[in-house]
Amino acid sequence: MNFFKVSEESIKEGAEIIKNGGLVAFPTETVYGLGADAFNPFAIAKIFDVKNRPHFDPLIIHIAEIKTLDEIADLSLLNSETKKKLFLLAEKFWPGPLSIILPKNKKIPDIATAGLQTAAIRIPDNETALKLISLSAGAIAAPSANPFGSLSPTRAEHVRESLGEKIDLILDGGQSRIGVESTVLDISDDSIKILRPGGTPREAIFQITGIREQETETRITNVECGIRNEELEIVSQESGVKFNSPGLLKSHYAPKARLFVMSKDEILKQDCKIENYASQKTAFLFFDAETRDAWRYAQMPHDDIIVNVLSESGSMIEAASHLFEILHELDNCGVSVIYAQEAPHHGLGEAINDRLKRGASV
Ligand code: TXA
Ligand code: MG
């Protein structure tokens, strides 16, 4: 495995590797991706192998320009309303953290989409990613560059630590700007469904399209989490709506530590007496400094307890960009229990809470 800082040369080398069927980890604005030629089924099979990813979990296809969408998607299968929605969203949010589910073009091998006839497609907002795509296959299939089910990587070092020798090249482009994955969107019905909350907030999507969302349940409680060798069907408890998006597995994005997610009121009540924490290395992860300070005032913190905050000022953007970063750090310090405060449940807070809850469900 080579580990190179991003440069003209290293991107060119990455593009050659991808064209030759290899795997390259590369930066995007959300998290690092593990990329392969989207048209090469053998290269894509390696992604599943390296990540230990179940074959029922489809990949996101990354392109560099809207005009190449035709190569990946079969837009002739869309009705005019859906086409309108697609271009409204694409023009507003691409490049950016929004993956749109579209009927797939036959050139995309079934293994990339886990046998589904649809593909999740996005244009990442990152110069390195865009160059790599343009110089290689024109389309790169890439999940997040982490072992299946574990924390997503927001630094090249995270990729090196977890997948290291199993891949051909890691392009180091520094810390990911957004820090949570893209929003995954199904626009096929009259409405729009968010299959995975992410870097493009729900409010922005509905403001642009003016279409009312069909409420989808993303806080799934009755999902079978075991990995099965067949496609996973997820049923929303409230609406009974069925859809396939294995990223909605209840248990995902998990740190090694046991993670407990709490509301502001609940975390403030967490009693920090020494005897409670003496046997386990414990961390508190607050959303903002205000809550942390209120908690500190009420408690007599024990020196061994690690106290972290997602954003001192309570900025949602900063909090999202620190989330995986801090969870990785806590794992590296050998923390065994984390008490995390929920973010306010709007904007990027929805993605933050989704990742925290899934990380807590192990
Ligand atoms: O920001 C991101 O989305 C990152 C960067 C690398 O682009 N990628 C990423 O990929 O998070 P991954 O594989 O970790 O998550 C992809 C999600 C999964 O939840 C998967 O189930 C869903 O997208 N997905 C992919 N294709 C789909 C499809 N055809 N229908 C429904 N869900 C799909
Ligand atoms: Mg992932």
Least Cα distance to 218 among 198, 189, 232, 190 occurs for 198
Best residue among 122, 181, 248 to mutate for probing ligand 1, ranked by most atoms within 8 Å of CB: 181
Instruction: Give me the mean pLDDT over the 57-62 stretch.
Output: 97
Other Cβ atoms within 10 Å of 310 Cβ, number: 27
- Closest Cα to residue 95, out of 54, 133, 124, 117? 124
Which-ligand-closest: CA of 246?
Answer: 1
- Summarised one tens digit per residue, pLDDT across range 37-52 is 999 999 999 999 999 9
pLDDT for 288-318, tens place per residue? Answer: 999 999 998 777 767 778 999 999 999 999 9
28 lines ligand 1 (CB under 6 A): yes
The domain defined by 258-360 folds into: Rossmann fold (3.40.50)
- Does the Cβ of 338 fall within 6 Å of ligand 1? no
Asked if 154 contacts 325 with a C-beta cutoff of 8 angstroms, the reply is yes
Phi, psi (5° rounding) for residue 303?
A: -55, -30
Closest CA to ligand 1's atom 19 = 247
pLDDT in tens, 153-179: 999 999 999 999 999 999 999 999 999
In the reported structure, the alpha carbon of residue 247 is separated from the centroid of ligand 1 by a whole-number distance in angstroms of: 7
Residue 71, pLDDT score: 95
- Identify the pLDDT of residue 361: 63
Band of the pLDDT at 106, cuts 50, 70, 90? Answer: very high
Does pLDDT of 273 surpass 60? no
How many H helices and E strands in the chain?
12, 16
pLDDT of 79 strictly over 50 = yes
Q: Does 258-360 match 2-239 at the fold level?
A: no
Residue 286 clears pLDDT 80, i.e. is over it:
yes
Tell the CATH topology of 2-239: DHBP synthase (3.90.870)
Residue 232 pLDDT more than 60? no
Q: What percent of the chain has pLDDT over 70?
A: 86
Query: What is the domain partition of the chain in residue ranges?
Result: 2-239, 258-360
Relative to beta strand 118-122, strand 60-63 is: parallel
